[in-house]
Amino acid sequence: MRSDSIKKTPKRASHRSLLYSLGIDNEEMDRPFIGIVNSFNEIVPGHIHLRTITDAVKAGVRMAGGVPFEFPAIAVCDGIAMNHEGMKYSLVSRDWIADSCEIMLEAHQFDAVVFIPSCDKVVPGMLMAAARMDIPCAFVSGGAMLPGKFNGQNVGLSDLFEAVGKHAGGKMSDSELEGMEKSVCLTCGSCSGMYTANTMNCLTEALGIALPGNGTIPAVFAERVRLAKQTGMLAVRLFEKNITARQIINRRSVINAFKMDMALGGSTNSILHLLAISNEAASPVSLREVSDISDNTPQLCKLNPAGPYYIYDLDQAGGITSVMAELVKGGYIERDTPTIDGTIGERLDSFSKRFVAYTAAGADGEVIKPYDNPVGADGGIAVLYGNLAPDGCVVKKGAVDAEMLQHRGPARVFDGEDDAVEAIFSGKINEGDVVIIRFEGPKGGPGMREMLTPTSALAGMDLHMSVALITDGRFSGATRGSSTGHVCPEAAAGGPIAYVEEGDLVDIDIPGRSVNVVRKEADGSYAILSDNELMSRTPAEVPVRKLKGVLAKYSMLVGEASKGAIMKTGGTI
C-alpha cells in the first residue's frame, strides 16, 4: 500500500501519532487509506449538495473495508463569473485544481481516491489530476439540475441569458424577465442543458472512469446517492485489484470520449479539456485528429441549447449507456474497451439492471437517434482551419442553424469582450456582420473568458440567424449560433486574428471546415488573402493588462488552446 509509507515500521512512529490524533484506531491503520476530494462550497449551485454525496461515498468506502479521508477542492460557477473580471479565473482554476489534488494525494500517500466534482472546470481539473497521478480512482459527480418551467415550457440557463438580449431589444418586460429568472434554476445540480459541466460529466462515462449514470442522473434523485455509495465501494476494489487511472484513461478511452462528445453535440470547452487530459495521460491527441474524429462520427443527440431536450430527458432515454450502444452498433467504439467496472460491452449487457423498463440500451428515436439515421452525419463540434486560424479553431456545429453554416460578411473588430457586448446591446451590430473579439485567448485575456453574454445577446435579439462571432477566447456550452472560438494562434501571440481590420470580408464555411479573410475580385468572385498579404499589415496593439497574482503567473505559463491550454510546467515530464 502507498499509505504504508506514512504508517508502517518504527521509523513512522511520529506519523502514526498524528494519525491516531484523528481518531484512527489500530484496525483502520491496516486498511487502505482512500482520499475523497470534495469540491463542495456554498456559492456554486452544482456543489451546494456535495456534502450528501461525499457522506455516501465515505459510507461506501467503509462498507468495502477502506478508511476515507475527505479534503477540499475549489470550484468556480461559470454562470456567476460570466461577463466580468471573474471569468478570467475560470479556466485558470482547472490547472490549480489539478495541482492541488496532486499536492494532497502525494503529500499524504493515499492508496486510492474518489473525485467528487460537478461543475465547469472542476471535472477536467480532477481528470487531469487522475491521469497525472495514476493511482486507483473513480469519479462521481453531483448530478444535473432539473430543467425549469416558464410559460409552460422547459427552460435552462441558456434561455435566460438569451432573455436578457430579448429584454434589451424591448421584446420582454421587466416583470417577465424577473419571473423567468426565478423559474430557470429550480434545483441544485449542474445547469440542466448539455453545457460544459454536464458534457464533461457525461464524458467521464465514455472515458470509463465513472459508473453508468454519472453524467445524467439528476442531482435530486436518490439514485444519485446510491451511485455515490457504489463508487466509494468500487474505489476500494480498484485498489485491491491495482487498477490505476491510466489503465482506464489512455489514448483509446480519450478517443472514445471525443467520439461521444461528437455524438452528444457537447460543449466546445470539452476539446480544450480532453486535449489537456490526454497530455496528462502521456497519450496526447492532436487537434487534427479531433477534426478527423468529428468528420467520421455522427451526431446522435440535439440537447439544449441546440435542441429541446435536457439532461433529464437524456437520462430517461437510457443515458450515456444508450448513446454508447449506438456508437458500438455503428462500429465507432469497441465493446472490449475497459472501464472501472468491466468492459463497455459488459455495461451494455447489464443495462436493464438500472432501466428495468428497457430490454437493451440504444436509441429511443427522439432524444437519442440511431447511428444509421442520426441528427447529423458528422459530429456536433467542428474544427476549422484557414488564414484566420492556421492552427485551428472550433465551433459547436450542432447548435448552428442551417442558414448560418456558411456565412460571409464584414468584420466588426473588438479588442476585448466588453466593447463587443456594449456594441451589441446598443444596436451597433447589423445583420450580416462577423463580430471579431480578440485578445481574449489563454495568454492575452488572460484566462480565455467564456462569452455567453455576447452570443446569447445576439440570439435574444434575433441576430443569431444573420451574425457570426469569432474569437480567440472561448464559449460557454450554453452558446448557440455561429460562434467560433479557440482561434489559434491567439492575437496576443501574434496570430492572424491580430491583423484583421474593420470591414474585412470574413468567410466561414463550416461544412468545408474553413475560416478565412477574403477579398472580392473584379469579376465578383472571392479570393482568400495570402498569409503574406494579411501578415504584412500592422497588427493591433496588445492591450495593457495590469496583472498580478494568479493571472500574472498563468499568462506567463499557459500554452496554446490548440494543445489544450496546458501550463508549460505541467503535464508528465
Active site residues: 476
CA 242 to chain centre: 29
Q: 94 and 277 in contact (C-beta within 8 Å)?
A: no
Pairing of the two strands 137-139 and 67-72: unpaired
By CB atoms closer than 10 A (0-12, 13-18, 19+), residue 372 is exposed
β-strands 148-150, 137-139 pairing: unpaired
C-alpha cell at 89: 479565473
Give, in order, the Cα–Cα distances in Å from 284 to each of 27, 380, 385, 425: 42, 22, 20, 41
Q: Are 433 and 412 in contact (CB under 8 A)?
A: yes
Alpha-carbon distance 39 to 41, whole Å?
A: 7
The residue among 333, 309, 329 whose CA lies nearest residue 370 is 329
**Cα(454)–Cα(440) distance, rounded to whole angstroms?**
13
Residue 284, strand partner residues:
none
Give all strands (DSSP E) within 366-467, no chain letters: 382-386, 389-395, 406-414, 434-437
> C-alpha grid cell for residue 5?
509509507
CB atoms within 10 A of CB 226: 14
Question: DSSP label at 513?
Answer: T
Neighbours of 431 (CB within 10 A): 10
* Torsion, CA 246, CA 252, CA 253, CA 258, rounded to 10: 140
